[in-house]
Structure 1
Amino acid sequence: METKFKRIVLENSDAIVQMWMDNVRNLKDENYTTNIGDELYESTNREFMNVIFTSIQSQGSMEEVEQFSEKIINLGWPLSYITDGLQVFRRVTVDYILSNLDDMDDTEQIKSVFQSVDDWVEPIIRKLVNEYTGNWEQIVSLQRVALQELSAPLIPVMDRITIMPLIGTIDTERAKLIMENLLQGTINHNSEVVLIDITGVPVVDTMVAHHIIQAAEAVHLIGAKCILVGIRPEIAQTIVNLGIDLSDFSTKSSLKKGFMSALEITNRKIVPLEGKSREEQIKNIIDSI
């Protein structure tokens, strides 16, 4: 019986594909693919159908299914495109087979149609969804690693002076990364002074201040001095209102002032060169960071 149903489907694949395409176009708004160009959408839909029919014809071969799932991931299309498309295929195929049967009232035959189509579609759904989620998790993991590498950089700008520019919100996980990078980098670069620049941190609350104080204390314990720079007026007001004590740490309103302090601590100073003022030289150094 299943062989009969399969023959109907394969011999009339063009008609089923056209019915499927007509139905899927109506789902474009619902599965978040409205921003995809019509030409790419149509070609991908036809490729989707080829993958399904190849799987049916080859009795469950999944090689092309895996490749198609990877393509959808690379295109950045949602998982709903796959699941909705397969559900439409299930419905369209069942309707087409039933419309080509001699006895439409045979309950057992109708049940066999549904079971056969399920047997074709379910393995494809499982494989596509598993491949999609697996590939997506791998991409997210790689992105997370990349973001972590960029979220707490320690930049050696001069012998014995390093800067850690912080941008964005600081949560507990990121604070731990900041601490690790700060300590390891301070040792690796043989730093005497570390400037923690919070110019790009939008909000400094009690938790953020606590993490920064911990980082500064840790730097002090390994023999380096920490200077907190980028204290904007609104940040200073927030720190005062929260009663946060930063009296044990050097603070500066700007990176430029912090860098000048770092030079003094390391017994160095800017000597004006011919044609350039002291301020211009400092600005050039800061701009190069």
Structure 2
Amino acid sequence: MKKRTWQAIGALCVASWFSAAASAAPQIDAIVQKLKDTHTITMGYRETIEPTSFLNSQHQPDGYAVDMCKQIIADAQKELKLPEIKIKYVPINIQNRQALVANGTVDIACGGAVHTFARARQVDFSPVSYVSANQLLVLKDSGIKSIDDLNGKVVAVPTAGNTEPILNQLIAEKKLNIKVLHVDTHAAALIDIVSHRADAYFCDNSAFLHLIKSAQDPKALAVVGPEYGYAPQAFMVPKNNPTFMWIVNHSMAQMFESGQAEKIFNKWFGPYNLKISPRLRAAWETYSYPE
């Protein structure tokens, strides 16, 4: 009886050891497993956010964020020792991008979403790729110079964006009477301003670059008022993919340290006479960890 008892205890210990060993074994990320099985990654991109992420004249995804993500994918191929990684492009917008990343439809969203604590509940974020803030886009002859001039006027904001809470806070603080108009695209906001359906567009100022350039009369538009908020943009990745996130973080850190990130920035933002801001430079230096 005693012998059988010790045998049972021994069997239980062995089973427990194997169970613990199995649980301690490194788990392969869903994205890494997908890359190994299919040699394919799904990249989400924006269609109209030039120069960050857009469809070029050949109807191919292009831009600052797309170039950065292509380098991340090249580094993933090297790190995982794969013969190739094919990119499957999926268009995303401000309304669906987070859901498509959270449910695994998109492996990496390269549209420059602002990293917020609320969004980080559902998705993970890369290091900061770009830093912007919220400002006003108006017609020059509107007489609008700041938020204080918007009392009794209509202000467009992106649907489901992070700018409306900031506007609502300003409205409450300054006791302004402002009608908020939701728009699904930046192009729609431009149409609303030019047609006088809206008096201003309150949004991430990085979106204004292409809007002004693409307007029928660019000189009629102006970006006014102080910058509100701190909008650190980054690339979204589905949660629970630590190995792939390490590759993303490492790749971007190498871009920051080597000067490649600055070259990509100058390629896309140089034509707009923009230079790397102190905030962006500081963010890059923060993520430039030593090997």
- Name the TM-score class by shorter chain: under 0.3
Normalising by the residue count of structure 1, what TM-score does the alignment of the two structures yield? Answer: 0.23
TM-score by length of 2: 0.23
Structure (1 or 2) with the greater helix fraction: 1
Q: RCO (CA 8 Å, sep 6+): is it higher in 1 or 2?
A: 2
Higher percent of residues as strand: 2
